[in-house]
Each structure stands twice: as structure tokens, then as C-alpha cells.
Chains A and B, each alone.
Chain A
């Protein structure tokens, strides 16, 4: 197991190093950011000066060397737009995104387990058909539409919830609800399909033959095997939110990482972009590593390679 964990971390570290290198060079392929930091009317002298001051005139390889040296010291540089350390800007935004993911994914997972399992119990039944249609719809509905309709109905018409922002528990209800929809739709379909396969297995029939009651068969025997394919899907869905639930963050005015990443690309704020990518990559790497360990614990065969 220890070897498995060490190998997992080494491969994760290698992926991170490749990612950091790629993001550095790809970001610079978009061009010199000087144009974004001086007005269109600025004189040539001013443009040249700003470019020189901010190191945009150095060869890219020199810039990369400087970047690695700073990185080794844990310094991800200053955000050009925010005029403060890029890592601080990301650190301010990260709690919002982590909270969104931390609420939406567990809720979606639990609901998906219940809906998918119940649907698989009686395939083709009324519940299965309704749940199948509803989860397919949930997976397909655009976030933007859901968010605006949610605000109109629950904030403007019913006045039950605030329109947007953060501050109280109620502020999180609409954004989390919108974020739950897509993972719920996908996960419920995965659970149903997986459960259908498991329920037709010999060991389930053997459990039934032993005289176990259905809930015990379902929870004690079927579910642990049915969730194995679901775990990686949960991680991918969580990674999607960690990467930034851009639309939800924009519509609800939630100060998260997704919005930050989009802005850093639009405004060629390279240091901020690098900081966002590195921090989210680490978060996703940790989530994937935890999932791997969880899978290895559930299914020890996975550690043998």
C-alpha cells in the first residue's frame, strides 16, 4: 500500500511539473500583455517603459528561468491586475469554490445513490422512467438558465432567498442547488447502470437465497460494489467545480476561482493564471489521490500493480 501511495504522489508531481511548464509557455503564446495594461492611446515611450518594467521584453526562456527560481522560493509573483501577490488573490477565492464543491458534490452523490438504486430495483417501472427522464434533464439543463430562473422564482417572486452574494447560509442555497443538478443527473445514471449489473450477479442471488432482507442485500452487498465506478465520476465532477463553476460564480456574484481564472486569461495576468492553475491542479490531484486510495481500500486488487 505504501508503495502504491508513493507512486501515486510521484506521478501526480510529474503531472504537475508538466502542467506548470505548459501553462507558462501556452500563456505567453497569446502575446505580449503590454497592450492590455496601457491605454490604446498611450505613447510608444510609455508602452516600452511598462513592458520593460514588468519584464515582458525578456526572452521567454529567461522569463521561465525567473519563474522557476521564484517558484522554488514559493513565490508565484504579483498579480498585475490586483497589484498584490497572486497566491493571496487565489487564496481569497479558494474558500468559496471549495465550499461550493464541498456542498454540491456530497448532496449530488447522496441523491444520486438513492435515485439510481431505487431506479435499478425495478428497471422500467414508473419510478425508473420518471427518474431516468428527470436525471437526463438535470444533466442537460444549462447552468445559466437554471440560475436566472432560480433567482426570478425564489428571490424576486417568492422572496424566500437572496438574489446573490455571500454572507448567510441562505446565500448558498441557490448556487449550490444549481451546481447539484448536473452531477446529480450524471451520477444517478452511473449508479443505476452499475447497480443493474451488480443486482444480476450471482453473489446477490446467493445473498437472497440465504434469506437476507432486501435492504440488507442492497446496502450491505450491492452498494459497495456499485459505487466503485461511481467514485471516479464523483472526482471528475468535483474537479469540474474546483476548476471553477464560472457561470454560477458570475451570476450569483460568488468570488470563486473560476471567475478568477477566466479574468486572468482575458487580461493576460500571467502570474495570476499560473497561481490559479497550480493551486487548482494541486486540489484536483489531492481529490484524485484520495479517490485512488479509497478505491484501493474498497478493492485491494487495485494496489497489486
Chain B
């Protein structure tokens, strides 16, 4: 028996010794995210699981988006100006070295643009930001790069934020799994199944950050992420669910808004009165603080207040079931088939926010109150994506709503307005008449070509028209997100936190 006890004690000792270190080394932080990266190349700068590790930490671009005020700020370029011919000249920061010891030169910038915008590589900057735009980068002198686009891009300084500048050692025709950049952190290790490690770059050109080593790990389950901070296994846990949140967690306005698209290909949705009634019938405020986080706010345009172009003067469709019924009665009298069953589609297994299913059920009940019969159908993601393309609309289908979300992390409303309302996009929502489509396209194009206050005015005008007259959607909410942090660190989340974790902004207690 004595021997048994000895063996048991020894086993316990070994087990405790093998227990994970609950306290990280000084200077080291552990960040737990909902999903791990699939790739490790700046080419995938729009995939949040990759971007939040690399962007601004390992890889830097010519400019950076100001996460609070929006707009472009200097990073690897110290200044920029537009030439008379519409091209842009970017002056490079002197003395910057890549992690492989080679210097930042105009040639490396040209190489990075050619690589990132190579159609064959299909990088995110090419697909998301520069789609349909011809780009030519060329070295002007030892510290200046000229970037010419066709058509001319007035917000090019903002757009180049998506192009990571990499050294010539980065493979040209394939994705790298060992990224090299100029950022404050060196990519050190990627255990594809468990973690990514970054260590502070000793020769960084800027101010030396406090965090010396960062380990990114991933857990799908929000309650597990939250528990990891509680027991000291992680310092920062992203995307804490409403149910697991507590008062000490940090909430922030994310760059995301939720919306329900109204496809006007089928009656009665080709009648603007019905589209307005869909908005008036929803008591969105009643769900805030009950089913939804108390800090969620009502949306009324495609971008939130932190984005350049947001128009604070646009009103709200406040809950008014009487007005909704009146509009529906009017439309019915004019021949609109109000009684047709309405189908709403959403993505199966994907929640834009906590309690999404309950919120959808509540909306369907509210629409029923005013006489609209809506059923929700959750589709597999691929089917959902093909179903929302106008070219795939079945002429005999039911009137269709699309539960969706949109986020703008560029800081400029142009990207959102162009992709959601311009007719060149296969999923955008358009005015009812060809003249209306033409006019909206022209307005958006003029906004994309404008700068400064004129740009803001035109975008504001486009979003006001969409809200007051075209009504292609039901505007729902500007979302908030929740993170949990340990007492070891100081960190203030911002609207881009879901996409970018700027390690340099973390300080240690």
C-alpha cells in the first residue's frame, strides 16, 4: 500500500510539473482568437485570421488607416502627393530595413505591387481593392515611387494600405509561409495546428513596442476563450459572446453593420412603399438591451460613424406599425401582391451576432403583425453566395430578403457604396428603373472621383437617396464586439480590432 501511495504521489508530481505555465514570461502576451490562419502571406490581407497576426506587426504598407478618424496616415511612406496627370508620388521613409536585412527601396515597393496585384496570384488587394483598376508602380528616384492608376483613384493613399511591402526574397509566384516585412515584429514560428509566434524586431525603424513576444492561438468556442483569460492561459481573448461577457470586459464599436437586403426583382418588393413598410414594421430598439447588447446602435446607412462619408443628418425609420400598415394598404390598392409568401435567406451556421436566430424570429413576428408573411431559410454558404447574385435570380421565385452583414475597415465609405449600390456589382441592390440605376451609378462614380468635403457630400447624398427614396434594404444595427483582457496588459480595442491586432499598442502592467 505504501508503495502505491508513493507511486500515486510521484505521478501527481509529474502531472503538476507538466501543467502549462499559467503565467507568461514578462513581455510575452498570448492572444486567443476564434480561428487560426490558413495562410501566412500578406496576399491574404482580407482574411482576418491571417491579417490580425501579420498586418502592422510583421508587414507594413505605405500608409495605414487611422482606426478612429479614418483616412490614410503615414507608415512606410512619409508623405504623398497627386501629380497633375492623376498619378501619385509616395516618398519612402529612409533607413527602413526588412527582416532579412535588405533595405526598403523603391524597387521593393514596385516588386510588392507587381506581386500583390498579379492576377495569377489572386491576392486580396487585387480582388477586393484594385478590381477593375490598372495599376503601374515605378521608381522615380532613390526614395520616391510613382503609382499610376487607370481610372485615376483619388483615394489611392487609402487603397495602398492593403498592399504589404515585402522584400525581393519573397517568392514571386507562390504564397510564402515565412513572411518577411519591415514591421516591429519578426515572424518566428508557425505551428500550423496550434500557434503562431512573433518576436520583437531588434532593428525596427520606429518606437520599440513593449511586448517582446506574442503568441497567437485559436479556440472556436467563445466560453473556452473567455475561460483561458480567467485562468491565466491567455492575455487577450477576442469575440467574447454576449452570454459569457461581464462588466469588466471591453466592448467596442466594430466596423460591422447588419442589414436585410430587399431584392426588388419580384413584386411586391418592386414597390417602394412595401420596402418602407418592411422598415417601419420593425421595433429594432425593443431588442437592444434584451436580445442584443445594450451598446448596439441603430443603423441607417451602409457605413458607421467612424467611416469617412458617414452622414449624421440621415434619419431613422422609427417603429411605426400604423404607418407600415398604411403603406401596405396603399400598395395593395395599387395592385401590389402583399399576400405573397416572402422568403428570407441567411447563412447556415453563421451568426453575425449573438442571439441572431432569436432576433430573426422576432422580426418575422413583427412583420406578421402588419400582415407580411416571412419565413427564414438558412442556406449553406456556397449556395447562399450564389443565391444573392442577380444573374441567378429565378424569374418565378418568391419575393426574397437577404439577411446579411457588411463591414468597412478601410475608413472610407467609397468601397461600401460602390460594392453595394453600383450596378457593376452582381450582388448590389439597384433602383427600380433604368433611369434611377443610371443616375445612382453616375452619382457614385462622381463621388469616387472626388476628394475631401466634396467626396463626403456626394457619399452623404448617395446614402440619403438610398435611405429615403430607393430603400433597397432594412437597416438594422451597428454592431459592438467584446474582448476580455488579463490584468497583465493594457489594450484599447478599436473598430479594426477584429481585423488587426496592433501589438505595438499593447503595454504591460
Which residue of B38, B122, B221, B425 contacts A50 across the interface (Cβ within 8 Å)?
B122
- Is the pair A46, B224 in contact by a Cβ cutoff of 8 Å? no
Which residue of A36, A43, A89, A155 contacts B132 across the interface (Cβ within 8 Å)?
A43
CB contacts under 8 Å to A, within B231-283, are 231, 233
Which residue of B14, B227, B381, B383 contacts A156 across the interface (Cβ within 8 Å)?
B227
- B residues in contact with A96, CB < 8 Å: 193
- A residues in contact with B457, CB < 8 Å: none
- Is the pair B217, A253 in contact by a Cβ cutoff of 8 Å? yes
- B residues in contact with A166, CB < 8 Å: 193-194
- A residues in contact with B128, CB < 8 Å: 39, 41-42
Tell me, in angstroms, the Cα distance from A96 to B191 when the chains sit together: 13
- Report the minimal beta-carbon distance from B494 to chain A, rounded to whole angstroms: 23
Q: How does the 8 Å CB contact mask read for A152-174 relative to B, with 1 for contact and 0 for none? A: 10011001011111111111000
The answer to whether B459 has its CB under 8 Å from any CB of chain A is: no
- Is the pair B385, A162 in contact by a Cβ cutoff of 8 Å? no
A57-65, A80-88, A98-106, A216-224: which lies at the interface? A80-88
- A residues in contact with B228, CB < 8 Å: 163-164
- Report the minimal beta-carbon distance from A27 to chain B, rounded to whole angstroms: 11
The answer to whether B26 has its CB under 8 Å from any CB of chain A is: no
- A residues in contact with B194, CB < 8 Å: 165-167, 253, 255
- Report the minimal beta-carbon distance from B345 to chain A, rounded to whole angstroms: 13
The answer to whether A35 has its CB under 8 Å from any CB of chain B is: yes
Q: How does the 8 Å CB contact mask read for A213-235 relative to B, with 1 for contact and 0 for none? A: 00000000000000000000000
CB-CB nearest in chain B for A30? B382
- Is the pair B20, A168 in contact by a Cβ cutoff of 8 Å? yes
CB-CB nearest in chain B for A260? B193
The answer to whether A74 has its CB under 8 Å from any CB of chain B is: no
- B residues in contact with A267, CB < 8 Å: 381
The answer to whether B230 has its CB under 8 Å from any CB of chain A is: yes
Which residue of B120, B126, B224, B382 contacts A36 across the interface (Cβ within 8 Å)?
B382
CB-CB nearest in chain A for B17? A168
- Is the pair A151, B224 in contact by a Cβ cutoff of 8 Å? yes
Q: How does the 8 Å CB contact mask read for A182-222 relative to B, with 1 for contact and 0 for none? A: 00000000000000000000000000000000000000000
Of the four ranges (under 10, 10 to 19, 20 to 34, 35 or more), the interface on chain B belongs to 35 or more
A43 in contact with B382 given A82-B39, A253-B220 (CB within 8 Å): no
The answer to whether A305 has its CB under 8 Å from any CB of chain B is: no
- A residues in contact with B349, CB < 8 Å: 266
Tell me, in angstroms, the Cα distance from A49 to B19 when the chains sit together: 51
- Is the pair A167, B220 in contact by a Cβ cutoff of 8 Å? no
- B residues in contact with A82, CB < 8 Å: 38-39, 192
- Is the pair A35, B386 in contact by a Cβ cutoff of 8 Å? yes
Which residue of A148, A161, A165 contacts B217 across the interface (Cβ within 8 Å)?
A165
- Report the minimal beta-carbon distance from A130 to chain B, rounded to whole angstroms: 25
Q: How does the 8 Å CB contact mask read for A1-43 relative to B, with 1 for contact and 0 for none? A: 0000000000000000000000000000011110110111111
- B residues in contact with A151, CB < 8 Å: 223-224, 227
- B residues in contact with A89, CB < 8 Å: 192
CB-CB nearest in chain A for B428? A41
A40 in contact with B388 given A163-B224, A170-B18, A250-B220 (CB within 8 Å): yes
- Report the minimal beta-carbon distance from B389 to chain A, rounded to whole angstroms: 8
- A residues in contact with B15, CB < 8 Å: 169-170
Tell me, in angstroms, the Cα distance from A45 to B131 when the chains sit together: 9
The answer to whether B424 has its CB under 8 Å from any CB of chain A is: yes
Tell me, in angstroms, the Cα distance from A104 to B498 when the chains sit together: 37
- Is the pair A162, B39 in contact by a Cβ cutoff of 8 Å? no
- Is the pair A162, B20 in contact by a Cβ cutoff of 8 Å? yes
The answer to whether B119 has its CB under 8 Å from any CB of chain A is: yes
Tell me, in angstroms, the Cα distance from A152 to B230 when the chains sit together: 11
Tell me, in angstroms, the Cα distance from A30 to B384 when the chains sit together: 12
- Report the minimal beta-carbon distance from B198 to chain A, rounded to whole angstroms: 18
- Is the pair B231, A156 in contact by a Cβ cutoff of 8 Å? yes
- B residues in contact with A167, CB < 8 Å: 20, 194
Q: How does the 8 Å CB contact mask read for B295-332 relative to A, with 1 for contact and 0 for none? A: 00000000000000000000000000000000000000
The answer to whether A93 has its CB under 8 Å from any CB of chain B is: yes
- Report the minimal beta-carbon distance from A56 to chain B, rounded to whole angstroms: 12
- B residues in contact with A81, CB < 8 Å: 38-39
Tell me, in angstroms, the Cα distance from A53 to B127 when the chains sit together: 14
CB-CB nearest in chain B for A259? B220
- B residues in contact with A43, CB < 8 Å: 131-132, 424-426
- Report the minimal beta-carbon distance from B224 to chain A, rounded to whole angstroms: 5
Which residue of B122, B218, B427 contacts A41 across the interface (Cβ within 8 Å)?
B427
- A residues in contact with B383, CB < 8 Å: 31
CB-CB nearest in chain A for B232? A159
A53 in contact with B20 given A35-B382, A156-B230, A165-B194 (CB within 8 Å): no
The answer to whether B57 has its CB under 8 Å from any CB of chain A is: no
- B residues in contact with A159, CB < 8 Å: 231
Tell me, in angstroms, the Cα distance from A38 to B119 when the chains sit together: 13
Which residue of A31, A32, A36, A152 contacts B227 across the interface (Cβ within 8 Å)?
A152
The answer to whether B338 has its CB under 8 Å from any CB of chain A is: no
Which residue of B39, B131, B223, B427 contacts A46 across the interface (Cβ within 8 Å)?
B131
Tell me, in angstroms, the Cα distance from A166 to B386 when the chains sit together: 38
- Report the minimal beta-carbon distance from A177 to chain B, rounded to whole angstroms: 14
- Report the minimal beta-carbon distance from A145 to chain B, rounded to whole angstroms: 12
The answer to whether B368 has its CB under 8 Å from any CB of chain A is: no
- Is the pair B381, A45 in contact by a Cβ cutoff of 8 Å? no
Which residue of B192, B219, B381 contacts A92 across the interface (Cβ within 8 Å)?
B192
- Is the pair A164, B219 in contact by a Cβ cutoff of 8 Å? yes
The answer to whether B358 has its CB under 8 Å from any CB of chain A is: no
Tell me, in angstroms, the Cα distance from A49 to B128 when the chains sit together: 14
Which residue of A30, A38, A163, A253 contacts B218 across the interface (Cβ within 8 Å)?
A253
CB-CB nearest in chain B for A43? B131
- Report the minimal beta-carbon distance from B153 to chain A, rounded to whole angstroms: 16
- Is the pair B233, A33 in contact by a Cβ cutoff of 8 Å? no
The answer to whether B136 has its CB under 8 Å from any CB of chain A is: no
8 A-B interface contacts by CB (under 8 A): A49-B119, A148-B221, A159-B231, A162-B233, A165-B233, A169-B14, A266-B381, A267-B381
Given contacts A82-B39, A93-B193, A166-B193, 5 further A-B contacts (CB under 8 A): A31-B382, A38-B127, A92-B192, A163-B233, A266-B380
Interface residues of B (CB under 8 A from A): 14-15, 18-20, 38-39, 41, 46, 119-120, 122, 126-128, 131-132, 175, 177, 192-194, 217-221, 223-224, 227-228, 230-231, 233, 349, 380-383, 385-386, 388, 419-420, 424-427
Kindly list the 10 A-B residue pairs having the minimum CB-CB distance in the complex, ordered from nearest: A255-B193, A41-B419, A35-B385, A253-B219, A168-B18, A81-B38, A83-B175, A162-B20, A250-B220, A82-B38
